[in-house]
Amino acid sequence: MPGIIWLVVLFLVPFYTVLAIAGGTLNAIFSTPVPVWNPLRWTGTSYAAVYHLFFGSGSFVWPIFLRTVWYVAVASLISLVVAYPAAYFVARFAGRRKGLFLALLIAPFWISYMMRMLAWIDLLQTDGYINRALVDLHLISQPVDWLGGKSTTVILGLVYGYIPYLILVLYAGLDRIDQRLLEAGRDLGLNRVRTFWRVTLPLSRQAILTGMLITVLPMMGDYFTNQLLSGAQSTSMIGNVIDSQLNNSTQEAQGAALSLLLLAFLLAPMLYYVRKTRQASEEAF
Amino acid sequence: MTLTSDAVDRPVADDGGEPVDETPPTPPPTAPRVSRRRPPWRNPWRRPWVLETFTWAYLIWSIVPIAIAVLFSFNNGKSQSVWQGFSTRWYWGDPVNSVAHNPALRSAVVQTVRLSVLVTIIAVPIGVAFAIGIQRWHTRTSTTFNFVMVFSYVIPELIFGVAMFFLFTQLFTAIHLGTGAEVLGLVTWNFSWPAIIVLARLASIGSSYEEAAADLGASRLQAIRRVLLPLLMPAIFASAVLVFASVVDDFVVVDLLSGSADTQPMSVIIYSTSHGGNGGPALNALATIMLVMSFAVATIGLVAYRWMTRGERGANSQEAMTSIAGM
């Protein structure tokens, strides 16, 4: 079973390494991390340091954490509001042009994340098309510095970056709904809007949940979107903290502890997702 | 039909027992005639114009920025936002800063191709073997590892990357950060694609073909090689396409595991050079090359998948598209 050996060596062992470093001690001279492999001798030094970063005096991580949760919540809700109607239309009403619509929906899935961010960097420059269009329409008098640390830009970037994954899950869920159930609803006298509320929406609740998880989980670990679209301290997210700790050898142990805490925070939704997909695959057997 | 839906739309009295106004609302005088020729907004099968417009708006929003970025890779000037005429200088014309002549950009292209090919070659057989094994032995170990595999599929990439980073800097120090670490990390990150897709396909094939093979005297290995693998070919192929394209697009794992500048693939170069938007159109050219690679692989995958599943029930181009996208 090469697959299982691979998983043990390269998935479970790495996480044990992280535990060993987070629970380990620091080298007295360079304060580089020294992993401790015996779990009985793990210490709480790094966790205490991370706690201090969160709640101690001069702490800066707690506001960043709150900002991360806020950005992710807003961005994923916007994604849902945009993605659902589009997926619904393509799944139900596209008719003969379904193939074309589907190809266009899937296309961004094949385009690199970096390319999609780069496209917005081009458009949002001070002399870029967005500013020029807004000035020409007299909506603003001065070009706006969109890339200079604006929350709006970062949230837009998150939405743009992760919406293709959400829309594919929603499409797959909506497309599986049996059309006969909708026809039955209509036959029983429901109008369009009520058929949607009473039949389609409850049947697609599962797709909405898994779709939201599949966008929220990676967004929580995102550090590149805001770095590319703003780069300012005022918009940094929890991922940026971990990334910068890894780049500084005296803080690596704190980075390990912090990513374990993030993992613990996200564990419940992850387990929920795993359980749901397992149920779905068992129903398929 | 109009009458029925009116009857339902009328607010229903609560169970509160309050006296309900029994008199029906006076029908509009023209109601009976209207029910014959409904105004367009009462037609239950009208085209959903609002939804359609919204969908087109979404598609334009999702695709036009990319198209503009591709366009600017052909810009005849240093700007990424002002059009200065068409040229291919950022691909090969410029002797210093074009993708073909700048050593950093050129090595990034080579590195991306190298990683994608290596990872696909390693990850797909491992994932397929994993799926067949999990499906055939229904033991506690196989259930546990199926769980671990799906878990590796949903864990945020940053946390996974951090674990890999410490693995190669603290434990397996013989493998330095660089191509070796990148390949091992990416294989682990991506082999859940073939595993999940092949598991789904195995579930839909069922065990009857293998049992038939066994009845006809095939050994276990022969049954897998001569019966199961040919049946799995479309799924294996679709997952190979997915793995290749997701390695091309991958950023977090390679960002954390690339050691020196010469092992940075294209995505990392774009990230580290475009901070604050001063990369120049050569970056757009690089991104366009990535785009063309992904789309070429996706198109090959689509055509080959259609060819392999020809004659199967339910095979059509939509089914092929969703399979290649891992749905």
* CA distance, residue A186 to nearest chain B CA (Å): 9
For residue B296, give both structure tokens: 């070429």
**For B166-194, what is the mean pLDDT?**
80
Residue B14 belongs to some domain of the structure: no
Residue B42 belongs to some domain of the structure: no
Query: Are both B291 and B258 inside the same structural domain?
Result: yes
pLDDT at site A251: 72
CB pairs under 8 A between A and B: 273
A138 vs B240 pLDDT, higher one: B240
On average, the pLDDT of chain A sits at: 78
Query: A-contacting residues of B 288-307, CB under 8 Å?
Result: 288, 290-291, 294-295, 298
The answer to whether the pTM exceeds 0.90 is: no
Q: Which band of pLDDT confidence, cut at 50, 70 and 90, is reported for residue B279? A: low
pLDDT at site A74: 92
Assess B104–A contact: CB distance below 8 Å, yes or no: no
Nearest-Cα residue of chain A relative to residue B206: A285
Nearest-Cα residue of chain A relative to residue B279: A118
Q: Which band of pLDDT confidence, cut at 50, 70 and 90, is reported for residue A31? A: low
Q: Cα(B277)–Cα(B79) distance, rounded to whole angstroms?
A: 10
Query: Are both B161 and B250 inside the same structural domain?
Result: yes
Ordered structural domains, chain A, with CATH: 1-43 (no CATH), 59-284 (1.10.3720.10)
* CA distance, residue A97 to nearest chain B CA (Å): 11
Our count of domains for chain B comes to 2
Mutation to test the A interface, candidates B38, B46, B81, B147, most A Cβ within 10 Å: B81
Reduced DSSP (H G I as helix, E B as strand, rest coil) percent helix, strand, coil of chain B, to 5: 70, 0, 30
**For A247-274, what is the mean pLDDT?**
79
pLDDT at site B325: 72
* CA distance, residue A56 to nearest chain B CA (Å): 24
Residue B175 belongs to some domain of the structure: yes
The answer, yes or no, to whether residue B301 has pLDDT greater than 70, is yes
The answer, yes or no, to whether residue B236 has pLDDT greater than 80, is yes
Nearest-Cα residue of chain B relative to residue A7: B188
Residue B254 belongs to some domain of the structure: yes
Q: Which residues in chain A are contacts of B188 at CB distance < 8 A?
A: 6-7, 10-11
Query: Are both B171 and B80 inside the same structural domain?
Result: no
CATH number of the domain encompassing residue B136: 1.10.3720.10
**For B116-127, what is the mean pLDDT?**
89
End residue of a domain, out of B58, B93, B128: B93
Least confident of B13-22, B127-136, B157-166: B13-22
Query: Are both B148 and B64 inside the same structural domain?
Result: no
Query: Are both B171 and B245 inside the same structural domain?
Result: yes
Q: With an 8 Å Cβ cutoff, are A103 and B321 in contact? A: yes
Query: Are both B194 and B298 inside the same structural domain?
Result: yes
The answer, yes or no, to whether residue B4 has pLDDT greater than 60, is no
Structural domain containing residue B53: 49-93
Nearest-Cα residue of chain A relative to residue B161: A14
B23: helix, strand or coil: coil
Assess A40–B contact: CB distance below 8 Å, yes or no: no
Query: Are both B79 and B127 inside the same structural domain?
Result: no
Q: Which residues in chain A are contacts of B294 at CB distance < 8 A?
A: 110-112
End residue of a domain, out of B39, B62, B93: B93
Q: Which band of pLDDT confidence, cut at 50, 70 and 90, is reported for residue A78? A: very high
Residue B209 belongs to some domain of the structure: yes
Q: What is the pLDDT of residues B183-225, one digit of tens each?
A: 888 888 888 888 888 888 888 777 788 788 888 877 777 878 8
Query: Are both B81 and B172 inside the same structural domain?
Result: no
The percent of residues above 90 in pLDDT, for chain B, comes to 2
Q: With an 8 Å Cβ cutoff, are B318 and A10 in contact? A: no
Query: Are both B63 and B181 inside the same structural domain?
Result: no
Q: What is the pLDDT of residues B93-114, one digit of tens each?
A: 777 777 777 777 888 888 888 8
Q: Which band of pLDDT confidence, cut at 50, 70 and 90, is reported for residue A27? A: low
Cβ-Cβ contacts under 8 Å for B314 (sequence gap 6 or more): none
Residue B40 belongs to some domain of the structure: no
pLDDT at site A80: 92
A214 vs A39 pLDDT, higher one: A214
The answer, yes or no, to whether residue A83 has pLDDT greater than 70, is yes
Query: Are both B211 and B270 inside the same structural domain?
Result: yes
Q: Which band of pLDDT confidence, cut at 50, 70 and 90, is reported for residue A57? A: low
The answer, yes or no, to whether residue B324 has pLDDT greater than 80, is no
* CA distance, residue A251 to nearest chain B CA (Å): 13
Least confident of B71-75, B79-83, B111-115, B288-292: B79-83
End residue of a domain, out of B93, B115, B150: B93
Nearest-Cα residue of chain B relative to residue A10: B188
Query: Are both B168 and B295 inside the same structural domain?
Result: yes
Query: Are both B86 and B107 inside the same structural domain?
Result: no
Assess A192–B contact: CB distance below 8 Å, yes or no: yes
Residue B144 belongs to some domain of the structure: yes
Residue B276 belongs to some domain of the structure: yes
Largest CA distance in chain B: 89
pLDDT at site B138: 67
